[in-house]
Structure 1
Amino acid sequence: MGYRSVLAADQFRDRIIVVTGGGSGIGRCTAHELASLGAHVVITGRKQEKLDATAAEIREDGGSVSTAAFDIRDEEAVGAAVQSILDANGAIHGLVNNAGGQYPTPLALISKKGWEAVVANNLTGGFLMARECFNRCLKTQGGAIVNMIADMWNGMPGMGHSGAARAGMLNFTETAAIEWASSGVRVNAVAPGYIASSGMDHYDPAFARDVIPRLSKLAPMQRMGEEAEVSSAICWLLSEGAAFVTGTCIKIDGGSSLGVKAFPLSEHDRSPVYRGFHRARAPRALG
């Protein structure tokens, strides 16, 4: 049993697509879906062992994949990595700026070092990846970029460093969509809400125990999202079916960003779930 994508099986045949943070979570899922649709996927991250594990899964499923271990916050490393990917593959057709991370802390307790680290992870690193892919390849060839943001609408209490960075990434997405359109490059974003992803396993144990299990009740759809439900939007934005879509952001949050505080949410189980990822793993906090 392989990945059950809603897109055509050969949608990305002969396409080279880079997925940052591809060793785990949503990035791992997206890499699997792209490979199942014919792409050669280059997954990147800081830890080679995580990349190797995901690459082994993709190859076992019959997909084509390679890896590149580097830190997206390091400007020289990003330039060298992008050039190495081009040297090995001849082109880059798409970029999924998925890598990032944050930790829950109130604004008053965030240090300058912590603030800068989260902004570098969630904004600066994505900018560097997009800029290098554009300047070294996409500027003359065209292509598509999808940036990862988050449900940061109306503020992001407890994670203000990430909220600020994600809001910046949205504006970068809109700006790049305008500046790079004449080169045939589309730039879009996705904003996941509460997704049952392995990224939740990195949070403080108390936060994971006390907060994460309650998140499913915060959206009108009364559940958390699946990694495959984010990946499917990313893959569509990269596909030819989204050829006239640029500078936009798709919210994948079950309605949690709609400002429902004054309206009582009804508990229900009427929201169908798309489980396309055959290798999905629930975060430990959700059993």
Structure 2
Amino acid sequence: MNVQFDFSGRHVMVFGGTTGINLGIAQCYARAGARVTVASRKQANVDAAVATLGAAALGVVADVRDEQTVAAALTQAVERHGPIDVLVSGAAGNFLAPADQMSSNAFKVVLDIDLLGSFHVARHAVQHLHPGASSLIFITAPQSVVPMAYQAHVCAAKAGVDQLTRVLALEWGARGVRVNAISPGPIAGTEGMRRLAPQGEQGDALVRQMVPLGRMGTTDDIGQLALFLGSDAASYISGTVIACDGGAQGQLSPMIAAAADGVLKKT
């Protein structure tokens, strides 16, 4: 059952909003009546996403690691749809690697996308957020609080995203900007699950065993939480990191270890 939210007349922009969880969030907002802008670095993904979001949707190309392209994308979005009511920053990168076999550049790539990219989006968006009442939502991960083998880069980057969430909530609250983060658990059909979980029925069964609610999540599960955080119903919620994971956040290490075992045996 979906709770119904009405975002008619509101502008929602989703960075990384062309695939996976972030596309699911954009689709939820589009169904709720929002004017949606999505941004990511590949034109083909942008075009495919816009085709699912309706004629009013705008797609722009931007790499969150490049703050000039982020600034240009925001300007283009505001020129088309007006000030931004809800901004979702969800671009992310990940791969499995032992820390002692990870190059400095590989570590840096994930920090640049996840953490520096989140800062770029927030820093350049704040001037475009609807004055007096707007919502900034980061997409973080359980690695931000749970140490996981083969995930040193992501653990470091997402811990930074969590703290960025809390700091911006302190600094920007007086402007009427609420800042929160969503921490998804295992979400079916996403690139994250293809990279970080064993594949096939045996892998699916392992994941379900680790989730107290007994199932993987859906992109709509995350989208519904994003709708709530962007709505007036969450008008007094800021500076929080909210898990949407079926209760599993502290129990995912075996999933990643099993996936890494399969990957590392092939290399």
- TM-score scaled by length of structure 1: 0.81
Partner Cα separation in structure 1 for residue 250 and residue 92 of structure 2: 24
Which of 64, 75, 83 in structure 2 is aligned with 1:83? 75
Q: Which stretch shows the higher mean deviation, 86-95 or 226-235? A: 86-95
Partner Cα separation in structure 2 for residue 259 and residue 194 of structure 1: 11
* Alpha-carbon contact 2:110-2:153 (below 8 Å) kept: yes
* Alpha-carbon contact 1:200-1:208 (below 8 Å) kept: no
Deviation at 1:139, TM superposition (A): 7.5
Structure 1 equivalent of residue 95 of structure 2: 103
SS at match of 2:142: coil
Partner deviation per Cα, 1:189-247 (whole Å, 9 max, x = no partner): 0111111132147638x954598432222122222111111111111100110000000
| Map 1:54-93 → 2, pairs under 5 A | 54-59=49-54, 64-93=56-85
The answer to whether the aligner puts 1:144 opposite 2:120 as a matched pair is no
* Alpha-carbon contact 1:139-1:180 (below 8 Å) kept: no
Which of 226, 230, 237 in structure 2 is aligned with 1:238? 230
Which letter does structure 2 place at the counterpart of 1:159? Answer: Q
Moved runs in structure 1, 4+ residues, more than 3 A? Answer: 139-142, 206-212, 258-261
SS at match of 2:64: coil
Counterparts in 2 of 1:36 and 1:260: CA distance versus 1, 3 Å: closer
Which letter does structure 1 place at the counterpart of 2:135? Answer: A
Partner deviation per Cα, 1:230-267 (whole Å, 9 max, x = no partner): 11111110011000000011111111235699xxxxxx
Higher helix share: 2
The answer to whether the aligner puts 1:7 opposite 2:8 as a matched pair is no
SS at match of 2:113: helix
Q: Which stretch shows the higher mean deviation, 169-178 or 223-232? A: 223-232
Which of 35, 48, 51 in structure 2 is aligned with 1:53? 48
The gaps in structure 1 that reach 5 residues or longer are 262-287
Deviation at 1:13, TM superposition (A): 0.9
Structure 2 equivalent of residue 276 of structure 1: none
Task: Indicate the percent of aligned positions where both proteins have the same amino acid.
Answer: 30
Aligned length: 251
Deviation at 1:113, TM superposition (A): 0.6
The answer to whether the aligner puts 1:37 opposite 2:28 as a matched pair is no
The answer to whether the aligner puts 1:251 opposite 2:246 as a matched pair is no
- TM-score scaled by length of structure 2: 0.87
The gaps in structure 2 that reach 5 residues or longer are 254-267
Partner deviation per Cα, 1:161-201 (whole Å, 9 max, x = no partner): 01111111000000000100000000000111111132147
